[in-house]
Amino acid sequence: MHSASLLIVDDHPVYRDALHQFLTRKFFSSGSQVFSANSIKEGLGIVRSKKSNWIILLDLLIPDSEDQLYGIKEFKKLEDVVAIAAISGLEKESLEAECIEAGCSIFIPKSSDTSFIYHSLCELMGLSPAESELTQLTDRQKQILSHISNGDSNKMIAYSLNISEQTVKVHLGEIFKKIKVFNRTQAVIKAKENGWV
């Protein structure tokens, strides 16, 4: 299942491109490719042209959709489509049941943050979110990650954990390596994006 590709189908270019960049970065380590299309027609063409298992993140309000469930039904006809996640700015309560009935796996409100969308898609793809990186950290390293997320200096961290500044530096080097970042700022952004701190 790790070879599943993800297709974002959304006609709003800013939203689609931002989500595409974010998810490409998040799924990079799993080897899952992320594609995007601005219409159902274009999306169907991409799925038909590339041999892969597909997860579709589908906006329900697309100009070439005959009705809100049209896209779900069209993608369901393709045998390589493993799961469809509907995403919409419309009220969840009124739509969710209809989408699931039409063959959707999950419904994601468009007001959701990117982290929620990422975690929802990980479940569909059978991938564990980047938490696997967090589990590699020792308890001490998790403490230090939490401290740098609060903006504490190495000196402050050393004082509060009763260790030397040099030890803090060694731990930081290990943390950066394990969570695949190059500096404190990236570490803090990644930790917050993944809900580690």
DSSP 23-41: HHHHHGGGT--EEEESSHH
Domain boundary pick from 107, 129, 151: 129
| Whether residue 136 sits in one domain with residue 74 | no
| Whether residue 119 sits in one domain with residue 24 | yes
| Whether residue 162 sits in one domain with residue 67 | no
Indicate whether 1 pLDDT > 50. no
44-69 burial string, b = 16+ CB within 10 Å, else e? Answer: bebbeeeebbbbbbbbbebeebeebb
95 vs 46, higher pLDDT: 46
| Whether residue 91 sits in one domain with residue 35 | yes
SS3 20: helix
| Whether residue 9 sits in one domain with residue 32 | yes
Percentage, residues of the chain above pLDDT 70: 94
| Whether residue 101 sits in one domain with residue 10 | yes
- The residues, any chain, with a CB within 8 Å of residue 176's CB and separated by 6 or more, are 182, 183, 186, 187
The Cα 54–Cα 1 span in angstroms is 10
| Whether residue 38 sits in one domain with residue 108 | yes
Q: What is the mean pLDDT of the chain?
A: 89
Give the range of the structural domain holding residue 79, as residue numbers without chain letter. 5-129
Domain boundary pick from 84, 107, 129: 129
pLDDT in tens, 103-146: 999 999 888 888 889 889 988 888 776 665 676 788 899 999 99
Indicate whether 149 pLDDT > 90. yes
Indicate whether 159 pLDDT > 90. yes
Average pLDDT over residues 10-26: 93
Residues 87, 59 contacting (CB under 8 angstroms):
yes
- Give the CATH number, domain containing residue 68: 3.40.50.2300
Domain boundary pick from 129, 164, 179: 129
- Residue 121 phi, psi dihedral angles, 5° rounding: -70, -35
90-105 burial string, b = 16+ CB within 10 Å, else e? Answer: eebeebbeebeebbbb
How is residue 82 written in tokens? 């493993």
- Give the CATH number, domain containing residue 149: 1.10.10.10
Indicate whether 2 pLDDT > 60. no
Number of domains in the chain: 2
Q: In what order do the strands lie in the sheet with 106-109?
A: 34-37, 5-9, 54-59, 81-88, 106-109
| Whether residue 142 sits in one domain with residue 62 | no
Task: Report the residue count for the chain.
Answer: 197
pLDDT in tens, 32-81: 899 999 999 999 999 999 999 999 999 998 999 888 899 999 999 999 99
- Candidates 22, 120, 108, 112; CA nearest to 59 is 108
| Whether residue 186 sits in one domain with residue 109 | no
How is residue 80 written in tokens? 């390589």
| Whether residue 168 sits in one domain with residue 108 | no
| Whether residue 121 sits in one domain with residue 27 | yes
In the block, tokens 């040099």 appear at 166
| Whether residue 148 sits in one domain with residue 168 | yes
